[in-house]
A and B are shown apart, each in its own frame.
Chain A
């Protein structure tokens, strides 16, 4: 089998890592939490980094009127289907072996990924800004607007007594590695055709 085909197939299959490992993680540090609170985001669920972390994040957040982190969100139905479909599509394209389709798959995956991140941002924004009017504590920004508690999309940020960290986890690395392999597959395929 041609090298490009193998790369394309392996690259697509790497996405399956997302079904096993978390995609993203948000961790909250504070003086009273020497062991930080953390939440792992999978493509189909939220999980505790340490047992009961989500319950304890909710407890902290109710003081500033934030909503509870839901048990599930609609995305958890869509993401597995989208990823599953892309894996199947990628493998089929791999067998077909047309390097232009490889690129098309990669571009589609980029669009889907960006859409996913945007969706995540919207959820985070709502989570951080849609505060209960009966919130126990209200904080204002220096400009007088109501302070939000949105965790960062990527990176670290101080929110009151907490420092929030938002970084990709192993599942995301599988995704990135898989996507890079499919891109390499495109270039290798292109070369193979010329040769």
Chain B
């Protein structure tokens, strides 16, 4: 019997394989002939080689994938509320989304960048920018939680962000939509000369990653699109691409595409830092939120900052230069040695590469071609290292493999092109499906790239997956770049728009991942560390429930004495100290989300009962064999009722475990 079954199985498999070969034709042959499937297959129970932190784009979040499998592990809520994880709904996390415009439930996340030490990925934090309401967030890579968000004043369209310097001295945030500085009511047509583009340097505390704005450089009112730090010899400099040097304020698709060349701004931040440390700069009034989540109180606080240090380029001579770069450059990418700065003129016929050493020489020899608002413009030929000829159409972004090769995305011709640094020759080109924006090589934007895989992040998906109505999935594609030619291995769907990503070897992050929060280190204002300490306290019409949860019950689980019109705070502590035993909490009619509470953590939900009755609450995360039994009741009496507050577990006052 077994033999028959086996031979049937073999026949079936063979038929399937042959069948697929037959109709697979040239397009599908790749996977079988090159073992692509094998090379992205991570067997059950085994681990991926890399983490990829992929921006969720207009979802406002940051997704964590494994490479090469393309499997999604976690969506870290950053700039948008996430009811699944109670982010932005629990009392503890609401302050994270506070801004000078009030509570904002959504953001547009763009460019994740992992912290570095000596120009190499160190895996402490990942930073990411929000474009719409300018903010920079920091995610802790031991908890994979957003632990800090700082708003950027005097900025709009926070796009040339959030890239870190080689020792994470600074994370940088640039302005894409220049705005009046200071903001005021004025005619839009008076843009030219009156709007400013702030480039913000945020100092990062080397101990805890705490962010604070060191200074804002008030640049002319261009659009600052992308940026990257110098490294190695060019450490101390930062490079920003600009477009709309025309300073148009309407129909930019035409009016901002008139100049033959825009600029790459080269900023000597070390020089400005020195100026600031010697008391330079002007303190100006500002109003921006600084939100910090404390891992021990499990609570975020939001502070409004009222001042920022402003630097004008003319204040620090020799700190800011413009390098002419053809046609609205997008990417501004520095190779691992720090010598080459690749400007991707997105409407240009070739890819421009500047040389850092030639730039220094040109500055030294004063090879200027006039100035813009007092900022010297270097002669185009004087800084030019070379150009990649006929590379493709619509270059956007370049990363490096650490073996002397560069990889550039082309949006219009929908391809990734591999070319050689120094000789500028094109080595390979591969189509992507479709219209790729950024690409990512783990560490490809550091001194030490891990040049094994390349992820192309596409803007358009069309027919690549099963259709799901007018809106189809967003998508990324994985290439193997170890050979002379790139090989496409895998398509995988992503959340939101996979705008950009940062990758890092799993071996750096895995050992640091936290398993639980220690209950004894919980300093939450309303923590309940044992069932005996659980209680219900009325304070006017506010009722505070100090509740605990452990497999498989709440304490207390019967509560009486609540009245319609009360504001009930459920402060719930998960007493578990075991890996992967979160509990959830939901109560009927709550106008918030569920709570998802990790072992050792406390979270708070507000419940405002509107109807008399006895209402259940329960655990939402399948925690144990008795998960279905993990429930309780809360009795709501009419307003003014004389039912006293009481709270019990198994009929007893809650006092013993």
Interface residues of chain A, those whose CB is within 8 Å of chain B, are: 35, 51-52, 55-56, 59, 63, 136
Bound-complex Cα distance A35 to B626 (A):
23
CB-based contact A59/B578 at 8 Å: yes
Q: Is the CB of B551 closer than 8 A to any CB of chain A?
A: yes
- Tell me which of B550, B577, B626 contacts A136 (CB under 8 A): B626
Question: For the complex, what is the distance from the CA of A59 to the CA of B574, rounded to whole Å?
Answer: 14
Contacting residues, chain B, for A51 (C-beta < 8 A): 577
B578 touches A52 (CB 8 A): yes
Q: How far is the CA of A36 from the CA of B106 in the complex (A)?
A: 42
Which residues of chain B come closer than 8 Å to A56, judged between CB atoms?
577-578
B577 & A52 in contact (Cβ 8 Å cutoff): yes
Chain A residue nearest to B578 (CB atoms) is A56
List residues of chain B with CB within 8 A of the CB of A136: 626
Is residue B625 within 8 Å, beta carbon to beta carbon, of the partner chain? Answer: yes
Q: Which residue of A lies closest to B576 (CB)?
A: A59
Inter-subunit contact B577/A55 (CB<8 Å)? yes
Residue in chain A with minimal CB distance to B519: A52
Q: Give min CB distance, A77 to chain B, whole Å.
A: 25
Are B578 and A63 in contact, with the CB atoms below 8 A? no
Find the B residue at minimum CB distance from A51: B577
B551 touches A59 (CB 8 A): yes
Set of chain B residues within 8 Å of A52, measured between Cβ atoms: 516, 577-578
Q: How far is the CB of A52 from chain B (nearest CB, A)?
A: 4
Distance in angstroms from A171 CB to nearest chain B CB is 26
Pairwise interchain contact A59-B550, C-beta atoms closer than 8 A: yes
CB contacts (< 8 Å) of A35 on chain B: these are: 579
Q: Is the interface of B mostly helix, strand, loop or mixed?
A: loop
B626: A residues at CB distance < 8 A: 63, 136
Of residues 500 to 526 in B, which have CB atoms within 8 Å of A's CB atoms? 516
Residues of B within 8 A of A63 (CB): 625-626
* Contacts A55-B578, A59-B578, A63-B625 known; 13 new A-B pairs at CB < 8 A: A35-B579, A51-B577, A52-B516, A52-B577, A52-B578, A55-B577, A56-B577, A56-B578, A59-B550, A59-B551, A59-B576, A63-B626, A136-B626
| Top 10 A-B pairs, shortest CB-CB distance | A52-B577, A56-B578, A55-B577, A59-B551, A136-B626, A52-B578, A63-B625, A56-B577, A59-B550, A59-B578
B551: chain A residues within 8 A (beta carbon): 59
16 contacts between A and B (CB under 8 A): A35-B579, A51-B577, A52-B516, A52-B577, A52-B578, A55-B577, A55-B578, A56-B577, A56-B578, A59-B550, A59-B551, A59-B576, A59-B578, A63-B625, A63-B626, A136-B626
Give chain A residues whose Cβ lies under 8 Å from the Cβ of B576.
59
Tell me which of A51, A52, A56, A136 has the highest count of chain B C-beta atoms within 10 A of its own C-beta.
A52
Closest to A35 in B: B579
Residues in chain A near residue B550, CB distance under 8 A: 59
Least distance between B38 CB and chain A CB atoms (Å): 26
Docked Cα-Cα span, A35 to B625, in Å, equals: 20
User: Would you list which residues of chain B between 528 and 580 have a CB under 8 Å from chain A?
Assistant: 550-551, 576-579
- Bound Cα distance from A51 to B550, whole angstroms: 17
User: How far is A191 from B626 in the complex, measured between Cα atoms in Å?
Assistant: 67
**Cα separation A63 to B577 with both chains bound (whole Å):** 17
| Complex Cα spacing A125 to B160, Å | 68
Q: Mark B383-410, 1 if CB is under 8 A from A, else 0.
A: 0000000000000000000000000000
Tell me the bound Cα distance from A51 to B599 in angstroms.
Answer: 13
Interface string of B609-628 (1 = CB under 8 A from A): 00000000000000001100
Shortest Cβ gap from A62 to chain B (Å): 8
A18 to B472 alpha-carbon distance, docked (Å): 66
In the docked arrangement, what's the CA distance between A59 and B626, Å? 12
Chain A residues with CB under 8 Å of B577's CB are: 51-52, 55-56
Residue of A nearest to B626 (CB): A136
In the bound complex, CA of A55 to CA of B578 (Å): 9
- Residue numbers in B under 8 Å from A55 (CB-CB): 577-578
The answer for the CA separation of A186 and B577 in the assembled complex, in Å, is: 51
B318-347 toward A: CB 8 Å interface, digit per residue (1/0)?
000000000000000000000000000000
Whole-angstrom distance between the alpha carbons of A106 and B557 in the complex? 58
Q: Which residues of A contact B516 (CB under 8 A)?
A: 52
Interface hub of A51, A55, A56, A59 (most chain B Cβ within 10 A): A59
Residue of B nearest to A32 (CB): B580
Nearest-neighbor residue (CB-CB) of B516 within chain A: A52
Question: Chain A nearest CB: distance from B45 CB in Å?
Answer: 9
Distance (whole angstroms) from the CB of B555 to the closest CB of chain A: 14
For the complex, give the distance between the alpha carbons of A56 and B579 in Å: 10
Q: Which residue of B lies closest to A59 (CB)?
A: B551
| Cβ distance A74 to chain B, nearest Cβ, rounded Å | 23
For A58, the closest partner residue in chain B by CB is B657
B446 nearest CB across to chain A (Å)? 33
How distant is A166 from chain B, measured CB to nearest CB, in Å?
22
Give the interface centre of B550, B576, B577, B625 by most chain A CB atoms within 10 Å. B577
A59 partner residues in chain B, CB cutoff 8 A: 550-551, 576, 578
Instruction: Give complex CA distance A51, B519 in Å.
Output: 12
Instruction: State how many angstroms separate the Cβ of B442 from the closest Cβ of chain A.
Output: 27
Within 8 A of A (CB), among B578-636: 578-579, 625-626
A56 to B600, CA, bound (A): 13
Min Cβ gap B652→A in Å is 13
* C-alpha spacing A52/B518, complex, angstroms: 10
Contacts of B578 in A (CB 8 A): 52, 55-56, 59
CB of A8 to closest CB in B, whole Å:
46
How far does the alpha carbon of A63 sit from the alpha carbon of B551 in the complex, in Å?
9
Q: In the bound complex, what is the Cα–Cα distance between A133 and B112 (angstroms)?
A: 56
In the bound assembly, the distance between CA atoms of A56 and B551 in angstroms comes to: 10
CA–CA, A63 to B550, complex, Å?
13
How far does the alpha carbon of A16 sit from the alpha carbon of B577 in the complex, in Å? Answer: 33
